[in-house]
Structure 1
Amino acid sequence: MKLKQAALASLLACPALAGAQSSVTLYGVADMNVEYVNHVGAIPTAANQFNPGPAASAYRMNSGGLSGSRWGLRGTEDVGGGLKGVFALESGFNLDTGTLQQSGRLFGRQAYVGLQSATLGQVTLGRQYTSMFEALANFSPTAYATQYEPIVLQSGANFREDNTIKYTGQFGPVTALAHFSFGTGLALPQTAGVAIPVGGNGEVPGAFRRDSAYGAAATYIAGPLGLALGYDQWNPTIGIGIGSGTFKKATVAASYTFGPAKVMGGYRWGQNKNAAGAVIGRDDFYWLGANYQVTPALGLTLEYNYDTVRNLYGSTQVANPWQVALVTDYNLSKRTDVYLSAAFAKNAGLTLDSVATAYATSFSLGNSYALASGQRSMLGVAVGVRHKF
């Protein structure tokens, strides 16, 4: 509370913001855990000749288990004519080291400004989540838990994009979303001998398509029933300036709530092509899970993920990865909770991180979930505490 008062006091000291003071909210999450994980190797990059090395167990402290640690400012201002000005600035950080996440961006989680109409919807510009990622938020059993949720495999490493214009409209039980990015700002390094660098900043003169992206989604939530569908396309640079590929994803999902339980699941189709139009990735991803509120304080979550790999850089004989995860969360108060998370993955590392995802989750978290040489499974267990403000 003292921090919030100090922030508001500093805003009052600036005449340009004094009129909007009541609409500005400071918020955040501090999430820390201690984790054990086995069969860990190094992320296979050119630096280690794409060799993850021998298996080892890791005991480590992590920032972000159920939620990524963050702080942010969000605000609105009535500008008349039924319109509001809106903005959000959200910074992700590593609580264990005090460093910034999202490749060192100051506001790497979200940074946008726009206009909102009560009847027509909202248009925002800046760094934002993709439409498909946002639509699936209510259909993820673990609510996009940072530690073991295979978000990158499900929605793509480009689930946050720079230089994005986005529309959001609320029409009764239906939410409609659409976005376009002039340049996602995402670059994935070469992570295996058969892979090549993917992505870039975009907005290249004379190459409008390169590293652009777009998508659309819709959700329907009424009573106990929820439905979602979405499409996402990213056109990343392939190799060193060779041209742009086409990475496509489409999804459907559903949920149903009865009493203290909620079940949900979905399917995501994916196809990646290189600049010449050849398929370099094709898979079908499925998830199924449930939440159960045992008591007002105690909640349980179970989630199962399975990926059918049909083509990965020309190989059609890739073992299909799967993962099962369990979360036990106990609320000590409205703001503070403690939790136990556990996951077991087969044919990939935890979060299903592998060559198929360019180990994007491991790079992002700063902790390797790459399988060591000769290993086919990985187990992780974490105990943590989370505080929301």
Structure 2
Amino acid sequence: MGKPFYVAAVMSLFAATAASAQSSATVYGIVDAGLTRESGASGSITKLATGVQSGNRLGFKGTEELGNGLKANFQLESGFDLDTGTSRQGALFGRQAYVGLSGLFGAVNLGHQYDPIYLSLDSIDPFGLGLPGQVANLMNTSNIRTDNAITYSSVPVHGFSFNGLYGMGEMPGNRSANKTLGASANYINGPVFATLAYDKLNNDSRNPASAGHRLVLLGATYNLGPVLAHAGVETEKGIGASDADFRSIMVGASIPVGRGSIMASVISKTDRCKANRGAKQVGIGYLYSLSTRSKLYTSYARIDNQNAASYAVGDASGGGSAVERGQASSAFTVGMNHKF
């Protein structure tokens, strides 16, 4: 996709938004970059990393009041690399792209959207699924985002809420291939947040190596005053030819310090098959607020792999440097994140 098309699409969106007096639209984004030192199979490397705490993005979202509490909503979000200026996710709006309705019944959206289990992991991870310490280095986030998705989000009732997703596989001659089912139930009451999430991804006929999985996540945070405690347990079982059978346990904490906060977590991933693909991760970081929109960050994490495992320390936008089976992986980063 060429730059002229990209620019034309963005300018057309601005024009359409300005012409609609009944609609309100917002342009937003995140720019994030840092210096990262990674250790992997080929030795150590220092690089200018992009999207370390949060993936870089440019987005548009809007709402139109339809009356009687009913609203039409849309969101379009494009990812890019700040170090090279190139687009990510292989699509113009590869991060999010959906349209839907919301009201007293909740919200129904159609398009390219986040999986419920990814959102649940984000809510319990001290690192917010970013920086080298993120839980996604060992815990399964499924698709992260699902194509051809129909989602429903309920309004909170006595602290309880529900999210559901159905991703249509759209594979001719095979109605089950590449189909995704996801759901989460959440509870908020005072210092307590709890989430229970489920994800089922059927085998993808476009990728024979992927046999699919079933994921179940139970997680929570508890505000102890000066310390926010984090915990989560995830089980992963393979479907069909996959022999995956993992259990991951995470405990962590967020501690306010000055104008920032310390983040830390420990994750243990156990392989309950004979393949011996378990691993352990330790992560620590510090986030310093320059303002409500600008932050400095630093983080370090190390993964110790078992004999057949090769997990690497990554961040919000990168999977880290590849490692040999059974070898350790580590990363240290310092950088800046700005929201607009």
TM-superposed deviation, 1:146: 4.9
TM-score by length of 1: 0.78
Residue-by-residue CA offset, 1:245-264 (whole Å, 9 max, x unaligned): 44100111111002232001
Read off the aligned partner of 1:135 and give its amino acid letter. Answer: S
SS class of match (2:155): strand
For 1:171, the equivalent position in structure 2 comes to 156
What is the aligned length?
Answer: 329
1:255 aligns with 2:221: yes
For 2:185, the equivalent position in structure 1 comes to 218
Counterparts of 1:76 and 1:353 in 2: how far apart (Å)? 45
1:346 aligns with 2:316: no
Counterparts of 1:12 and 1:37 in 2: how far apart (Å)? 40
For 2:280, the equivalent position in structure 1 comes to 322
TM-superposed deviation, 1:9: 9.6
User: Identity percentage over the alignment?
Assistant: 32
Counterparts of 1:33 and 1:240 in 2: how far apart (Å)? 33
1:78 aligns with 2:29: no
For 1:192, the equivalent position in structure 2 comes to none
Counterparts of 2:67 and 2:32 in 1: how far apart (Å)? 39
1:301 aligns with 2:263: yes
Gaps of at least 5 residues in structure 1 are 1-6, 42-54, 184-202
8 Å CA contact 2:115, 2:142 repeated in 1:
no
Counterparts of 2:313 and 2:211 in 1: how far apart (Å)? 18
For 2:3, the equivalent position in structure 1 comes to none
* Aligned equivalent of 2:125, options 140, 147, 153: 140
Counterparts of 1:13 and 1:25 in 2: how far apart (Å)? 13
For 2:328, the equivalent position in structure 1 comes to 377
For 1:33, the equivalent position in structure 2 comes to 34
**Pair 1:353–1:149, CA change in 2 (3 A):** farther
SS class of match (2:119): helix
8 Å CA contact 2:33, 2:51 repeated in 1:
yes
8 Å CA contact 2:56, 2:82 repeated in 1:
yes
Read off the aligned partner of 2:95 and give its amino acid letter. Answer: R
For 2:249, the equivalent position in structure 1 comes to 286
Counterparts of 2:265 and 2:146 in 1: how far apart (Å)? 27
Counterparts of 1:13 and 1:239 in 2: how far apart (Å)? 38
Counterparts of 1:238 and 1:205 in 2: how far apart (Å)? 10
For 2:45, the equivalent position in structure 1 comes to 58
Counterparts of 2:221 and 2:271 in 1: how far apart (Å)? 25
8 Å CA contact 2:236, 2:246 repeated in 1:
yes
SS class of match (1:292): strand
Read off the aligned partner of 2:152 and give its amino acid letter. Answer: Y
Read off the aligned partner of 2:67 and give its amino acid letter. Answer: G
**Pair 1:122–1:367, CA change in 2 (3 A):** closer
Gaps of at least 5 residues in structure 2 are 1-8
Read off the aligned partner of 2:226 and give its amino acid letter. Answer: P
TM-superposed deviation, 1:240: 6.2
**Pair 1:141–1:268, CA change in 2 (3 A):** same
For 1:188, the equivalent position in structure 2 comes to none
8 Å CA contact 1:157, 1:360 repeated in 2:
no
Counterparts of 2:266 and 2:71 in 1: how far apart (Å)? 41
TM alignment of 1:8-19, pairs within 5 A: 13-14=15-16, 17-19=19-21
**Pair 1:366–1:380, CA change in 2 (3 A):** closer
For 1:45, the equivalent position in structure 2 comes to none
Counterparts of 2:17 and 2:334 in 1: how far apart (Å)? 45
**Pair 1:327–1:240, CA change in 2 (3 A):** closer
TM-superposed deviation, 1:92: 1.2
8 Å CA contact 2:54, 2:317 repeated in 1:
no
TM-score by length of 2: 0.88
8 Å CA contact 2:133, 2:264 repeated in 1:
no
For 1:106, the equivalent position in structure 2 comes to 92
TM-superposed deviation, 1:28: 0.9
Superposed CA RMSD in Å reads: 2.7
Read off the aligned partner of 1:77 and give its amino acid letter. Answer: E
8 Å CA contact 1:260, 1:294 repeated in 2:
no
Residue-by-residue CA offset, 1:293-332 (whole Å, 9 max, x unaligned): 112x121100111100123xxxx14152011111111111
Read off the aligned partner of 1:269 and give its amino acid letter. Answer: T
8 Å CA contact 2:251, 2:265 repeated in 1:
yes
Counterparts of 1:228 and 1:336 in 2: how far apart (Å)? 29
